[in-house]
Structure 1
Amino acid sequence: MAAAERIRIVLVGTQHPGNIGSAARAMKTMGLSRLVLVAPEKAPNAESYALAAGADDVLAAASIHETLAEAIADCRLVLGCTARSRRIALEELEPRAAGVRAVSEAAGGSEIALVFGRERTGLTNDEYELCHVAVHIQANPDYSSLNLAMAVQVLSYELRMAALAVGPASAGEDERREPPASHAEMEGFFSQLADTLDVIDFHKGRAPESAMRKLRRLFLRAQPDTREVRILRGVLADAQRMARLAGERDA
């Protein structure tokens, strides 16, 4: 399977159906075909197909999900495209580096998502926190307004350039690696980690959000595979069990 077939473009909360069609056109010109919609305000309509300008197949095959978590559950790398700085610190990549990273991991068998937010407000902080990497297009700071479909076009172009640059030897080398755990597996681990930190009173009355954000970055940077996540979750389960036993002895 070609790397491009493992890469999906995810549009979250799209407000104008025409932008969905324009995004489909941008994708098809660069050899991408997997369009995913998350809770669009309006479903694709005649305006969408008119602006798709021949990319009707991409538009017709688009899947629709109610939440971003559902749309990216099987992904091992999620890149969130954002036009503004956030209090949630993620690894940041420019479009060219993001394209190389996405294609490299897709060539190794991973499912990849590039996520774009609403036209006016972008991704919510909760949605942004589900991403592993932030991607920022360095537009003119005096006029940085970039249409959704234009942003999709920029990233799609970088994906295509990266795919064309990947040679057979590089692809074969990536395929021998154990792929990272999926997004859903990592989110399950993070949920158990947060519960365990509460059980062992790790935060000592401090707000847990800051520590969890740092731990998320640490483990996402490490990219554990499925077996490693199972080991980590086994450690957490034992930590919870020992904390319960200690509590019973002290009672």
Structure 2
Amino acid sequence: MTAPDPHAHIRIVLVETSHSGNIGAVARAMKNMGLGNLWLVNPASFPDEASYARSSGASDVLDRAVVVDTLDEAIADCALVMGTSARGRKVPWPVISPADCADRAAGQAGAGEVALVFGRENHGLSNEELQRCHYHIHIPSNPDYSSLNLAMAVQVICYELRMNHLRALDVAGEETSLEPMLRPGDVGWDIPQASVNDVEGFFGHLEQVLVDIDFHRRENPRQLMTRLRRLFQRAHLDQMEINILRGILTAVQKSAGAGKGRPEPQQEQE
């Protein structure tokens, strides 16, 4: 069963943005994370060349943007409103993190529109505007330098929305980019993992080369091969990597005049 897409019912609301380039940057941040519903409350200038230039290809988000005169118009039909705030209030208000914001927005899917409200570049949202919000969103930035560019703040929230949606898809059994790709066998790795026999053949070949170049003595092995084994097994080699390494070993043998070529696998394991 496909997880519902919360992006369809979420609107990003910018209040009285003074620099139109920031509107374009916000559109870019939104489209990066799969959102496209932008509302503008009394912007100083829009649309204009600066906003489209800064959008870097997210012009479709700007083309669909809804421009209204007041915040009340932007949120009138919404069931949930959350606004960003960096300041403490005399009257405490429910405060949530960006991740909690994403959870609540996703939980609202199908029950009504959700508005995420961002204030002016120089002083954010007014107390009256924040009182229109059910929750205040606090981005826990560096307290010694907490000011975020408008588009950066939007990007943080949109990223959390994106991650929340991808986790829901993952739970629903759909393929996402959340799973790490670290070694052979992980989804997306291009070459199968080397078999135990392949790896043992490599270790036998490696030991023979080290003997051939007088780096290793079988009669006094100490811990050399044990530590090399630990090193290479920690790497989780794939089949092509084994072939490359054995090709290097064969070239070393030929260059050193110590071998006639690659040893047979049975010989290597003795």
Letter of the structure 2 residue corresponding to residue 138 of structure 1: P
What's 1:104 paired with? 107
* Residue 44 to residue 83, structure 1, CA distance change in 2 (3 Å): farther
- Aligned partner of 2:32 in structure 1 is 29
Structure with the bigger percentage of helix = 1
CA–CA distance in structure 2, aligned partners of residues 89 and 15 of structure 1: 29
> What are the residue-to-residue correspondences of 1:86-125 with 2, within 5 Å?
86-106=89-109, 108-125=110-127
**Aligned twin of 1:210:** none
Q: 1:165 corresponds to which residue? A: 167
Query: What residue number does 2:52 align with?
Result: 49
- Does the 8 A contact of 1:26 with 1:153 survive in 2? yes
Partner of 1:63: 66
- Amino acid paired to 2:45: K
Structure 2: gaps spanning 5 or more residues: 173-270
Structure 1 residue 88, shift from structure 2 partner: 3.8
Query: Matches of residues 135-154 of structure 1 in structure 2 within 5 Å?
Result: 135-154=137-156
Q: Deviations over 1:48-86 (max 9, x none)?
A: 000000000001110011110110011111000011112
RCO (CA 8 Å, sep 6+): is it higher in 1 or 2?
Answer: 1
**How do 1:1-251 and structure 2 match up within 5 A?**
2-106=5-109, 108-167=110-169
Other structure's SS at 1:76 match: strand
Cα distance between partner residues in 1 of 2:88 and 2:73? 25
What TM-score, normalized to structure 2? Answer: 0.60
Deviation at 1:169, TM superposition (A): 8.5
Cα deviations across residues 153-198 of structure 1 (Å, max 9, x unaligned)? 000000111111225999xxxxxxxxxxxxxxxxxxxxxxxxxxxx
Query: 2:78 is paired with a residue of what secondary structure?
Result: coil
Give the Cα–Cα distance (whole angstroms) in 2 for the partners of residues 3 and 122 of structure 1.
25
Counterpart of 2:160, as a letter, is: E
Contact 2:5 2:165 in 1 (8 A): no
Structure 2 CA distance, aligned partners of 1:13 and 1:82?
15
Give 1:89 shift.
Answer: 2.5
Aligned mates of 1:94, 1:17 — CA distance in 2: 27
> How many equivalent residue pairs?
169
Structure 2 residue matching 1:51: 3-state secondary structure:
helix
Quote the Cα distance in structure 2 between the aligned partners of 1:67 and 1:8.
15
C-alpha separation in 1, matches of 2:7 and 2:55: 19
Q: Secondary structure at the match of 1:50?
A: helix
d(CA) in 2 for partners of 1:128 and 1:112? 15
Q: Is the 8 A contact 2:79 2:111 kept in 1?
A: no
State TM-score, norm by structure 1.
0.65
8 Å contact from structure 1 (residues 21, 44) kept in 2: no
Cα separation, partners in 2 of 1:72 and 1:168, compared to 1, 3 Å: farther
Question: Could you tell me how far 1:27 is from its partner in structure 2?
Answer: 0.1
Q: What's the % identity of the aligned pairs? A: 53
Residues 1:109 and 1:23: Cα distance change in structure 2 (over 3 Å): same
Please give the alpha-carbon distance, in whole angstroms, between the structure 1 residues aligned to 2:94 and 2:167. 24
Q: Any conservation in 2 of the 1:14–1:117 contact (CA below 8 Å)? A: yes
**Does the 8 Å CA contact 2:9/2:113 hold for their aligned counterparts?**
yes
How far off is 1:116 after superposition?
0.1
Letter in 2 for 1:119: E
Q: 1: distance between equivalents of 2:146 and 2:170?
A: 38
